Amino acid sequence: MEKYDIILVGAGPGGLTAGIYAGRQGTKNLILDKGLAGGIGREVPEMENYPGFDNISGLELIEKMKAQAIKNCELHENENVLEITKNGDDFTVKTDNDSYLSKSIILATGSSHKQLNAKGEDEFKGKGVSYCATCDGFFFQGRDIIMVGGGNSALQEALYLDNLGANVTLVHRRDEFRAQKHLQNQIEEKGINVIYNAVVEEIKGDMLVDSVVLKDTKTGELTDLPISGIFISVGYIPHTELAEQLGVNLDESGHIIIDTEQKTNIEHVYAIGDVCVGLKQWVVACGEGAVAATSAYHDLNGVD
């Protein structure tokens, strides 16, 4: 069984950055990811707030990070971690392909798209219901669609869909967005229609989506809106299954609790990125990756 100084679970922006830092410090480290490097970050159509790039897609930035990371660490994509156990001073990491030993663990397990839990949502997945504008937006050029959500991701994807030529309406459950002001300004400049104080009650159709029922959150009034597609961006669910196996403490929202050095309550277990308490931004995840790798290196070598 091969042994590493640090095993990182998850190859998102934070995990790749941690791999870069860990490798440059001279540790033997391995990144494992159940899919391709980047995860849902590969779906981000455009970013205008990542330092050094005026505008870059998530996929392009991930590929740049990945190319840099594999110069400094070992990366196994499409290898799912099933279980992590503590055995004395070491951790045993069991995947669907192999088992490994490690002195330290960095959890960068990320999150997945949250669902609306509306009637018809599961039935019409892939038939007009989508959680990825970059994956499916092309199919809705010239068609009426809605984007559900009010955060940065929802507005970014609404702008992307509008640029593709889709007829986009934003639907938000509150009376104002929580997204950054510059994104709100772009929505207004583009003339993208917005329906405030509304939630999706039901998604309807025959073989494909052809309408949604919207409920006014103030009056309770129901409205049937004809559409060809619904894109959903209403937050994320942190992946904490491995953390729970290890006995890592979570907060009431289900996120991993970490200190300023990215340490959890379990010795030699660190956590970074969207799975943790804190701001969900790429630049934050990268910073946390650098901190976690440095903390792990210090702890392994007895540096205060």
Task: Give the domain-ending residue among 205, 232, 259.
Answer: 232
- Cα separation, 304 vs 288, whole angstroms: 19
CB contact at 8 A, 268 and 188: no
Same domain, 32 and 92: yes
Q: List, for residues 21-47, the tens digit of each pLDDT value.
A: 999 999 999 999 999 999 888 888 888
Tell me how long the chain is. Answer: 304
Same domain, 106 and 130: no
CATH number of residue 197's parent domain = 3.50.50.60
Which residues neighbour 282 within 8 Å (Cβ) at sequence distance 6 or greater? 13, 41, 47, 50, 61
Same domain, 119 and 108: no
Which residues neighbour 219 within 8 Å (Cβ) at sequence distance 6 or greater? none
Q: Could you give the percent of the chain with pLDDT greater than 70?
A: 100
The predicted structure's pLDDT at residue 260: 96
Quote the pTM value: 0.81
pLDDT at 304 over 80: no
Q: 212 lies in which domain range?
A: 115-232
The predicted structure's pLDDT at residue 46: 81
Task: Give the domain-ending residue among 194, 216, 232.
Answer: 232
CA-wise closest residue to 231 among 144, 115, 83, 132: 132
Q: List, for residues 159-168, the tens digit of each pLDDT value.
A: 999 999 999 9
Structurally, how many domains does the chain consist of?
A: 2
Average pLDDT on 192-219 reads: 97
CA-wise closest residue to 49 among 279, 275, 281, 234: 281
Same domain, 71 and 45: yes
Question: Which residues are 276's β-sheet partners?
Answer: 256
CB contact at 8 A, 203 and 230: yes
Average pLDDT on 92-112 reads: 97
